[in-house]
Amino acid sequence: MTLLARFLGPFSQLVVLLAMLVGSSCSSDKETSIVTFDSLVWADEFEGAGALDTAKWFHQTQLPPWGEWFGGLINHYTDRVENSYQQDGYLHLLAKRESFEDQGYEKEFTSARLNSKFAFTYGRVEVRAKVPQGVGTWPAIWMLNTNITEAGAYWEQQGYGTTSWPHCGEIDILEHWGKNQDYVSSAVHTTSSYGDQVINVGGKKIDNASTDFHTYGLEWTKEKLVFSVDGDNYYSYQPTVRDSTTWPFDMEYYFLLNIAIERGIDSSFQESPLVVDYIRVYQ
């Protein structure tokens, strides 16, 4: 071994060590890189006419045992084409003022509540929609875990129900209250934050939510949920502590689309639709 080699020996070892550290850093960066969801795995473009595609959607109509939906709602959900139909490439989910008797209860408003027969874990969701207008209307595009125990829901009927709400988890992609026109909201309900006491919530004021189409988005990864409207991210949920009370979002979730009617609805309200151009899921 030459004198130069003896001199460079420790130095060369240091160089190798530094190279290993750099390589490790690069590997870590790759592991935490942004996930890209660009493969369309499920969609409904609502190109049919009349009734919805029953291969994709289920009408949830069964009332809770006490005769009204959670939150003291004053409407029936029906499976009639009068309340949900396809026309000219759009889904029309229509809330109406009308006396309607079902399951032994008469109510003065009807609308529809849809469950998707598709469920998935992680991905990007896009929904292009216009929301109904009128104080007392409460439309939502949201998601529940297939394991929820809720009599009359599609996945409960398929034998998946094991876990009560809110422990199952809920993802609200879009909510809009007619009493706060043009303010769109997203929320995450879990054991640690739910119902009227929910703290994991964000929103944004937009223009013409009921007269113009807007694209509502959800990006769902193993680490976080990011909500957007027209490409603008306005709320992100990424809990520091990740356990069953804060993050039940590693399981399959399905879509719900509905218009609820609240007590105190405007006396002049007659009808107004949630109009959906498309709903798409990318993974």
> Alpha helices, DSSP H only, in 119-210?
154-157
User: Do 133 and 95 meet the contact criterion of CB atoms below 8 Å apart?
Assistant: no
pLDDT digits (tens, 9 = 90+) for 103-126: 999 999 999 999 999 999 999 999
**Can you list the positions of beta strands (E) in the chain?**
40-44, 57-59, 75-77, 84-87, 90-102, 105-111, 113-120, 123-130, 137-145, 170-176, 183-189, 201-205, 214-220, 225-229, 232-237, 253-261, 271-282
Choose, from 126, 150, 156, 175, the residue flagged as catalytic. 175
**Which structure tokens are listed for 139?**
């439309």
Give the per-residue pLDDT at 35.
Answer: 86
Give the per-residue pLDDT at 183.
Answer: 98
Give the per-residue pLDDT at 80.
Answer: 98
Choose, from 126, 156, 170, 262, the residue flagged as catalytic. 170
Give the per-residue pLDDT at 112.
Answer: 98
pLDDT digits (tens, 9 = 90+) for 28-40: 333 345 789 999 9
Q: What is the mean pLDDT of each run of 10 residues along the chain (283 residues)?
A: 42 41 37 78 98 98 96 97 98 98 98 98 98 98 98 98 98 98 98 95 98 98 98 98 97 98 97 98 98
Q: Which domains are assigned to the chain?
A: 37-282 (2.60.120.200)
pLDDT digits (tens, 9 = 90+) for 38-51: 999 999 999 999 99
Give the per-residue pLDDT at 34.
Answer: 74
223 as an active site residue: the answer is no
175 as an active site residue: the answer is yes
**Can you list the positions of beta strands (E) in 212-252?**
214-220, 225-229, 232-237
DSSP codes, 36-77 = ----EEEEE---S-BS--TTTEEE--PPPTTSS-TTT--EEE
C-alpha–C-alpha distance, residues 44 and 88, integer Å: 14
Give the per-residue pLDDT at 215.
Answer: 98
Give the per-residue pLDDT at 33.
Answer: 52
